[in-house]
Every structure is written in structure tokens, then in C-alpha cells.
Amino acid sequence: MKNNSVPRTLNLNELLQKKSHFLLGPRQTGKSTMIKDQLSKYKKYNLLDLNDFRKLSFRPTSIREELTPRDKIIIINGIQKIPELLNEVQLMIEDFGIKFLLTGSSARKLKRYGTNLLGGRARMINFHPFTFQELNDQFDLSRVLNYGLIPSIYFSDDPEQDLKSYIGLYLQQEVANESLTRNLTNFTRFLEVISLCQAEQLNLTNLSNDAQVPRTTIHDYLEILKDTLIADVLPVWQESKKRKPVSNPKFYFFDWGVARQLAGIGHVKLGSPLAGKAFESYLYQEFQAATDYYSLAPLCYWRSQDKSEVDFIFNNETAIEVKSSSLVHASDLKNLLKLKEEKKLKRYVLLYTGSTPKKLEGFKDIEILPYQDFLQGINESK
């Protein structure tokens, strides 16, 4: 594939004119490349570099001592490595008006340090792999459904091998080196088990039995995944009244390629039984990225006690069902119709892999759109 520079959605210069920011995202999502493209003229400390790490861990005040009148913006990469630096950051924001960009691949040490993340002096943005709009004419759905959207893997000449290496890197550098769990063997088995829960409701008891670890440990392992930004849960939309919602969230890895590799799933072909989960997982990534980048209402899904389900509630105004097919039948719209009875949302949309918008007779209030059309205009939701 081509590997031209891919402009990212976030404009760091604009963000930093307003306030300091934490930019947190999994490894290899492109934070460093984006900073190089957009903020190359500003002072940067890289805590993944041994020299910077040694200097600032031994003497955190050196970041203030090295300040010059030209320094208006300072970048610290890997802030989770030395969370004590946030004391210096806070002082420099307050006393010198410096704007900071603080990047990291884990929030766990920041939480353990007990910081309130600068008490409102910095905003937080979660960073994601590529999106449809960013890739533009370099987007390839078949590639996405197999290898995901992590930049280095998406453009790799051997994405399968690089996915395996990525998982090993996560286990070694994020989990083992940071001592996030005492038993890496159990955690690795848990990863394999939970990968089969992708896009499914979580049942901690079943997870405990399958992974052969106590339920309390399952809860701790889930927190590790969330804190290291490798996975998250999708909450249930609770505003329905006519049909009582369930309470169990759904589980998603941050990238479908990682989930597929962990689960040992083979090649995914559009139209195959596996494509449904892959397509839903991909669109989860798109909607979650848009939610974070445009500060929208939290993404969720709807499922009632009678097992009616709609895949996503986007920005608390659009119900979205997804279908990995170019054909749509009336039966595909039934759950959207049930949710529409609640009269709570503005739009009811089915996204599919066909090429043209359409309406089905008797369902004039439900939009049937090619997924590309919806994603192309997703920034209009802000």
C-alpha cells in the first residue's frame, strides 16, 4: 500500500492555544508522528529516551531550570513514566503560563500517583488509530477487517506478523515492565479468553471460569486493559422506558486487528459469518474516535430485557444498526423500530456496505445509508 503522510484529525496547535492537554492513546497509534508533523518547533522531553528519563527522574526541577523566554509550549512524551513531573508541570502552568502537551500510553501510574490530572489545568483527549476520514483514498475495508487501523500495521508489508509483535510488545512493555500484574501467565490466558468477548456483553462469572482465575482478578485485569487504553466497555443506554434495558456493558478492544489476532481468527472476508463482528468492531472504533475528538455525548448501545438490541447510540441522538452486507431486508430494521417507539432520539440509521442510500417501503423514517456516507459527515455531529 501507499504510505503517504496521513493528516490526523486533531489540530494540536489549536488545542494548545486554549489549554494544556493530556494526549493518551495506545502504543503506535501515531502520537509521535503527529507531534513531529505539527509541533516540531517546540521543546520536547521524551521519557522513553533513557537520557531524558534519567535526567528528569533524578532532578524533576531541571525542566523548569531549562525554561527559556522562547518556550511557550513544551511536550513531554511518556508522562506516565515519571508522574511526579506533574508537580513541576502544574507550577509552570500557573507561574509561567506554559502550555503542555503530555502524552502517554497508560493512565494507570497517573492514577496510582493520586494526581487529579492537574485539577482542571489540562484537558484530556484519547487518541485512536486511523479513521476513515483521515485515510481518505487510502482506506481499504478488506484490510481494515483483517488488520485493523494501527498506522504501522495498516501500511505494513507483513501486517499479520506485526500484529503478533504488537501484542508481545504490549505484554512486555506495558504489563510486565510496569509490573501491572504479578502473574503474566494468567493475564495472557485472560487476554485470549476475553478476545472472544469482542462486541459481546460481559459476564464476569463466565470469564472467571474460562480464564481460571477468581472473579475479583477478572475485574482487576479489566481495569488494566482500560487503564492501558487497550480496551474499554460500551455502556447501555438507560433512557428507554417502554422496554427495560439490561445493565451489562459490551466489550471492545481499541482495534479490531488486535482483537482478531488475540482470538486466533483467520482471514475475514466481507459477507462471511465473521464479517459481522469485524464490521461492528470497526465502526465502534470510528464512533469512539469521533466521540473523543469532537467532545460528543458518550457512545453507548441499547439492549432490552426482551433481547432487542441496537448496536450504537451515537451522541445521544442517533440510533445506529450496522450490517456487513450490501442487501437490506425489513427484518434488519425491527430493532430500530422498537427503539423508535421510545421517541427519545432524532435519527434512526442502518449502515450497510452497499453503495447508495435507500428507503424500504413502510419504513420511511429509517435511513439506510452506505457506511462511508455517514462517516464522511461524522464531524457535523459536533
| pLDDT level of residue 15 (50, 70, 90 thresholds) | very high
Both 207 and 329 in one domain: the answer is yes
Both 301 and 268 in one domain: the answer is yes
Both 95 and 227 in one domain: the answer is no
Domain annotation covers residue 162: yes
| pLDDT level of residue 195 (50, 70, 90 thresholds) | very high
Residue range 268-300, pLDDT digits in tens: 998 888 999 999 999 999 999 999 999 999 999
CA distance 262 to 147: 12
Both 181 and 93 in one domain: the answer is no
| pLDDT level of residue 118 (50, 70, 90 thresholds) | confident
| pLDDT level of residue 3 (50, 70, 90 thresholds) | low
Residue range 208-253, pLDDT digits in tens: 999 999 999 999 999 999 999 999 999 999 998 888 888 899 999 9
Both 136 and 251 in one domain: the answer is yes
Domain annotation covers residue 310: yes
Phi first, then psi: what are they for 267, rounded to 5°? -60, 135
Domain annotation covers residue 3: no
Both 160 and 303 in one domain: the answer is yes
Domain annotation covers residue 117: yes
The percentage of the chain sitting over the pLDDT mark of 70, rounded to a whole number, equals 96
For the cut 60, the answer to whether the pLDDT of residue 67 exceeds it is: yes
Both 41 and 137 in one domain: the answer is no
For the cut 70, the answer to whether the pLDDT of residue 255 exceeds it is: yes
Both 161 and 275 in one domain: the answer is yes
Both 212 and 333 in one domain: the answer is yes
**Which cell goes with 27?**
502504543
Residue ending a domain, choose from 126, 141, 162: 126
pLDDT of the residue at 173:
81
Average pLDDT value for residue range 7-26: 96
CA distance 106 to 126: 11
Both 39 and 98 in one domain: the answer is yes
Average pLDDT value for residue range 181-203: 91
Higher pLDDT: 169 or 146? It is 146
Residue ending a domain, choose from 83, 104, 126: 126
What's the CA angle centered on 313, arms 312 and 316, to 5 degrees? Answer: 165
For the cut 60, the answer to whether the pLDDT of residue 382 exceeds it is: no
Domain annotation covers residue 259: yes
Domain annotation covers residue 6: no
Both 372 and 357 in one domain: the answer is yes
CA distance 202 to 198: 9
CATH code of residue 31: 3.40.50.300
pLDDT of the residue at 115:
59
CA distance 312 to 381: 15
Q: Look up cell 484537558; give the residue.
A: 123
pLDDT of the residue at 362:
83
Domain annotation covers residue 175: yes
Residues of the domain holding 309: 132-381
How many domains, the chain? 2
Let me know how long the chain is: 382
pTM for the whole thing? 0.94
CA distance 133 to 234: 23
pLDDT of the residue at 282:
98
Both 47 and 169 in one domain: the answer is no
Q: What is the dihedral of CA 18, 24, 25, 30, to 10 degrees?
A: 50
Domain annotation covers residue 27: yes
For the cut 80, the answer to whether the pLDDT of residue 117 exceeds it is: no
Average pLDDT value for residue range 170-183: 78
For the cut 80, the answer to whether the pLDDT of residue 120 exceeds it is: yes
Residue ending a domain, choose from 126, 145, 171: 126
